[in-house]
Amino acid sequence: MRKLSCWFITGAVGIMILHSIAVLPYALAALGFEPWEDEVFIAIGKDYGPEAEKRFRKIMEIIIANHDKPIMEKLKLANDTLNSIPWIADPDHWKDKDYWATPFETLATFGGDCEDIAFAKYGMLLMMGVPDDSMGFAYLETREKERHMVLIYRENADSPVYVLDNQRPEVYIGAERRDVTAIYIFQNDGRLYIIGDDGNKRYIKNEFADRKLEKWAKGKERANQNRKRYEKYNGGRLLFPDW
């Protein structure tokens, strides 16, 4: 597994045109992804309304049409597509002070805050074949002392860290963002890095191999419930990667 420790030592803050319907599903299946059955979207429409069904169909079309594109195109597409989700504060949207919504919840309800949008991008990119261990989440503090979360991507130790931020239209290199303080980063597998950031230099203060964040764990539980709920409409296959 690729480690994130090298991501910050360098100072970086470390998803429509369809292909042939007759051929593409088999090619995608070979890559570990199969498009959802039509019954899934119909069921989503019954549960969340026709607009939610349209959103999920649109996202699936984008994933299918761009599954074999270069990574940077996928990152830009995910950022462009999901930055259109309206920002809604957790107390207003979820009646909870700090609720970490799953990608399914965010798309179904069409709203969320920075964490929710970052997680939605992560889920979309996973379905597009972007490796799990190349992505993580950076928890930041702005100059106004507001807490903020972004999705980060790094291909390898020699590559820059790219940031997908709901407050920025472009995918940018983390080292360019000096107006925020890095607090910690975490990955799906439990790796957590506490970051020291004096405004000029960022470094790893502490590293944990298997730190379970409570809100992330609860989100994964809800994601698993959604998968089980809809897999009967999808030929018994899970909807999202098992994250």
Is 224 part of any domain?
yes
pLDDT number for residue 243: 55
pLDDT number for residue 5: 36
**In the predicted model, what is the mean pLDDT of residues 1-9?**
36
Is 239 part of any domain?
no
Is 122 part of any domain?
yes
pLDDT at 124 over 50: yes
Is 243 part of any domain?
no
Is 174 part of any domain?
yes
Mean confidence (pLDDT) of the chain: 84
Summarised one tens digit per residue, pLDDT across range 13-68 is: 332 322 333 334 444 444 457 889 999 999 999 999 999 999 999 999 999 999 99
Is 238 part of any domain?
no
Using only C-alpha atoms, the chain has a radius of gyration, in whole angstroms, of 18
User: Which runs of E-coded beta strand occur in the chain?
Assistant: 135-142, 147-153, 162-164, 172-173, 180-186, 192-197, 202-208
Residue 67 DSSP symbol: T
Q: What's the rounded Cα separation, in Å, for the pair 33 and 240?
A: 9
Summarised one tens digit per residue, pLDDT across range 138-178 is: 999 988 888 999 999 999 878 899 999 999 999 999 888 88
CA distances from 219 to 123, 184, 213, 236 (A): 12, 19, 10, 22
Is 242 part of any domain?
no
| Lowest pLDDT segment from 4-8, 17-21, 133-137, 216-220 | 17-21
Is 71 part of any domain?
yes
Percent of residues, the chain, with pLDDT higher than 70: 86
Domain span holding position 134? 5-233
Which among 31-40, 110-119, 185-194, 217-226 has the top mean pLDDT? 110-119
| Domain count along the chain | 1
pLDDT at 97 over 60: yes
Q: Could you tell me the two tokens for 91?
A: 């107390």
- When pLDDT is cut at 50, 70 and 90, the band that residue 242 belongs to is low
Q: Which candidate, 66, 6, 3, places its Cα nearest to that of 209?
A: 3
Q: What's the rounded Cα separation, in Å, for the pair 20 and 5?
A: 42
**In the predicted model, what is the mean pLDDT of residues 190-196?**
91
Q: What is the CATH number for 198?
A: 3.10.620.30
